[in-house]
Amino acid sequence: MKSTIIEVINLKKDFYVGDVTVRALKGINLKIEQGEFVAIMGASGSGKSTMLNILGCLDKPTSGEYKLDGVSVSQLNKNELAHLRNEKLGFVFQSYNLLSRTSALENVELPLFYNSHVKSKERKERAIAALESVGLADRMHHMPNQLSGGQQQRVAIARSLVNDPVVILADEATGNLDTRTSYEIMELFQRLNTDEGKTIVFVTHEPDIARLTSRNIIFRDGWVTKEQLVTDKVLASEMLKALPLVEHEG
């Protein structure tokens, strides 16, 4: 029995720029089940980033309902939101956002520093396990500047996994990477989704990346204009094989 991880009901978000009210989200209804791999697509200005911020508990809706893993988020205050982010969410950013001059291991440990229930021994063990699951066990003590872009993003993914979140939110996570590395990262996401049952929400504007997920939600002008299951789901590993062989950076 799969449970609903994300439920959004008639959610609206307005921004006030001077006297002008910008209606970024005009009434969104969404439902994401456990174990889904969803791509949120849309052009810039479509409201997909605003949606992701709200889904990530970084921002609050103007009106409407958002339930994350059964918790109604709309009524929570800043500190409760921070707590929720720490316990239930994992973020992967376009620009990795790793701490410089900090080893991969410490970067991955970071979310657990903000969880007072995790002792330092457990923190380290979980960080090592997360790094192993993204295939970077041998790069644990490297600094970000000693890692390639793809490896840095893997560290970031390990960091998003370490607190065992109910959903991973990825914001253009392949945006800074070349095609081959993008597919490698997507392969990792697909594996996390199918093998480990992770729920993933992936914001992108690239259709060929969206094809690697299981469901696409398309935003336009603050509305969800289209929602479709990916019928011809492709495996990233096959896409990789199809790519012409080039020297491999990573």
Partner 1 sequence: MNYTNLLKIAKNALMRNKFRAFLTMLGIIIGVASVIAMLAIGQGSKKSIQDQMSSMGSNLVFIMPGSQQRGGIQMGNSSSQVLKLTDVDAIRVNCRDITAVSPEVRTSGQAVFGNSNWPTSLYGGNIQYFGIKKIEVESGRIFTDLEISSLAKVCLIGKTVIKNILPKGTDPIGQTIRFKNIPMKVIGVLGEKGENSFGQDQDDLLIAPYTTVQRRFLAIDYVQGIYTSAVSEEKTQDAISELQTVMRKQHKILKPEDDDFRVMSQSELIKTFSSISDILTTLLGAIAGISLLVGGIGIMNIMYVSVTERTREIGLRMSIGGKGIDILMQFLIESTMLSVVGGLIGIGLGYLISSVIGSLMGWPVVIMTQSVVLSFLVCAAIGIFFGWYPAKKASNLNPIDALRYE
Binding site for partner 1 (CB under 8 A): 53, 56, 58-59, 78-79, 82-83, 85-87, 91, 93, 97, 99-102, 106, 110-111, 113-116, 120, 159, 163
The smaller minimum CB distance to partner 1, of residues 183 and 202, is found at: 202
Q: How many whole angstroms separate alpha carbon 126 and alpha carbon 70?
A: 26
- Beta-bridge partner residues of 217: 40, 227
The smaller minimum CB distance to partner 1, of residues 99 and 137, is found at: 99
Max CA distance (Å), the chain: 55
CB of 79 to partner 1, least distance (A): 5
The smaller minimum CB distance to partner 1, of residues 81 and 128, is found at: 81
CB of 110 to partner 1, least distance (A): 6
The smaller minimum CB distance to partner 1, of residues 12 and 83, is found at: 83
CB of 235 to partner 1, least distance (A): 30
The smaller minimum CB distance to partner 1, of residues 75 and 77, is found at: 77
CB of 58 to partner 1, least distance (A): 5
CB of 30 to partner 1, least distance (A): 19
